[in-house]
Amino acid sequence: MSSDATPGPVAFGQRVQILRNRRGMSRPVLAGLVGMSVSWLKQVETGKIQTPKLSIILRFAEALRVRDLSELTGQESMPVDLFIGPGHARLPAVAAVINAFPLSATSRQAPPAAHLRARLARAWSARHSSPDHREVIGALLPDLIRDAQLVVRQAEGAAERRAAQAALAEVYSLSQFFLAYQPDSALLWRVAERGMVAAQESEDPHAIGVAAWLLANAHRDGGPPHLDAADAVTRETLSYLEPLLPDAIDDVRAIAGALQFEAGYTAARRGDTGVAWWHWDKARKIARKLRGDYYHPITSFSQAIMGAHAVTVAVELRAGGESVRQAAAADAMTIPSRPRRARHRIEEARGYQLDGQADTALAMLDRAHEAAPETIRYNGYARRIVLEETESKSPERRRRASELAVKIGILAA
């Protein structure tokens, strides 16, 4: 018998098992995430059940956070990006600045700290108001990163250096919003860690809270193996912030509220209903102590966002009816940030699809596209729903989904 026989193609079930083990997931966890029984999943992995229909493949893709469907199907004709979206045109320029470590002396004078702060404020404002927010902040980031690093290097005295580190941490925070769902996860982690280091060096409670919130986000989106790390970050940061809250400014209170919700979000992803809603309620109590018109410039935490947060908790708990009830109670138009409003519409779409209301789900995705096309273009949940509905039995739904798929770049025109 020849020893150099060409191995056969890797079956769908084998690919699922390999990816599941690589993500550190147990079979019961993955079965729960795709809404099937453990015995059914075992039969898939062992080849007793062949490749399932597209809607189930997409559930696997969501649970396993695969880059594109060909990782699951083995068909190179299906290179559909899902949870890591297409690389933005400005990604190489941003990556080049992040990866650079200028050590030699420079004759260039760092901009005044107040000037850097004003540019940062304008960048956040542009992010919240622009439908093409990635394009806008991607254009601003290279110079912002270079200048913030230079301000730190040229700072004189401990107080000035701490303030410069807080500004640098915020620039890294802005960078993470650009890098999310880009095809370079290592770059995202690099920035998250640098942001946390800069925030700690600043000794500024708000900077530390924001960096921790983003680091917890990164851990949570890393999948089940990283949920404990997300909890550790939020728990430790809340322990640090809570004694400061009685005399804190609104920004510090808001970041504590955002971290409380983050803990609830992680609990919901675990399927822990009681803990998820307990943290949501604690976050709501913090929000009620803020001014009615207050809106955190980075996390969007506010009284206005709590309805959207309730939808997210219900959706992550896979509670379709509750998701729809919370969506009906929430008012998306009170969310001033266009990308955050689009994200809320996507969460509503997830809820309506869970509840079997696919037409309404597509309508919510249309509204998400109206609010901020770049948000839906890079959101894996939205891409999954659209792609799934292109296979709908309803001709009208297939048409609507296909038109949306072209708009967000899943299908060619």
Q: What is the pLDDT of residue 84?
A: 57
Quick one: average pLDDT of 109-135?
92
Can you give the residue ranges of every domain in the chain? Answer: 12-73, 304-413
Is the pTM here over 0.85, yes or no?
no
Structure tokens at 296: 């955190």
Q: Is residue 249 over pLDDT 70?
A: yes
Q: What is the pLDDT of residue 146?
A: 93
Per mean pLDDT, which range of 87-91, 257-261, 311-315 is the poorest? 87-91
- What's the CA gap between 8 and 167, in Å, rounded? 54
pLDDT-derived band of residue 412, with 50, 70 and 90 as boundaries? low
CB proximity list for 333: less than 8 A, separation 6 or greater: 341
- What's the CA gap between 60 and 83, in Å, rounded? 12
pLDDT-derived band of residue 3, with 50, 70 and 90 as boundaries? very low
Structure tokens at 314: 């219900």
Q: Is residue 275 over pLDDT 90?
A: yes
Q: What is the pLDDT of residue 82?
A: 53
Q: What is the pLDDT of residue 38?
A: 84
Q: What is the pLDDT of residue 105?
A: 58
Q: What is the pLDDT of residue 303?
A: 94
74: left (phi over 0), alpha (psi -120 to 50) or beta: left
The 3-state DSSP composition of the chain as helix, strand, coil percent (nearest 5) reads: 70, 0, 30
DSSP-derived 3-state class of residue 75 = coil
Q: Is residue 43 over pLDDT 50?
A: yes
Q: What is the pLDDT of residue 4?
A: 42
- What's the CA gap between 337 and 108, in Å, rounded? 36
For the chain, what is the mean pLDDT? 88
Q: With pLDDT > 90 as the criterion, what percentage of the chain qualifies?
A: 57
> Tens digits of per-residue pLDDT, 51-106?
887 777 877 877 777 766 777 776 654 444 555 556 788 999 999 999 987 766 56
- What's the CA gap between 413 and 30, in Å, rounded? 35
pLDDT-derived band of residue 334, with 50, 70 and 90 as boundaries? confident
Q: Is residue 191 over pLDDT 80?
A: yes
pLDDT-derived band of residue 296, with 50, 70 and 90 as boundaries? very high
Q: Is residue 162 over pLDDT 90?
A: yes
Per mean pLDDT, which range of 207-216, 272-281, 387-396 is the poorest? 387-396
Quick one: average pLDDT of 290-311?
94
pLDDT-derived band of residue 204, with 50, 70 and 90 as boundaries? very high
Q: What is the pLDDT of residue 85?
A: 59
Amino acid, res. 276? A
- Kindly tell me the burial class for residue 377, based on how many C-beta atoms sit within 10 Å of its own C-beta (0-12, 13-18, 19 or more): buried
Q: What is the pLDDT of residue 173?
A: 96
Q: Is residue 8 over pLDDT 70?
A: no
Q: Is residue 335 over pLDDT 60?
A: yes
Of residues 163, 273, 244, 254, the one with CA closest to residue 213:
254
Class of domain 12-73: mainly alpha
First vs last C-alpha separation in the chain: 50
Q: How far is CA 400 from the centre of its chain?
A: 26
pLDDT-derived band of residue 281, with 50, 70 and 90 as boundaries? very high
- 310 CB neighbour count, 10 Å cutoff: 25
- 192 CB neighbour count, 10 Å cutoff: 23
- What's the CA gap between 85 and 67, in Å, rounded? 8
Angle at 375 between CA 374 and CA 379, to 5 degrees: 120
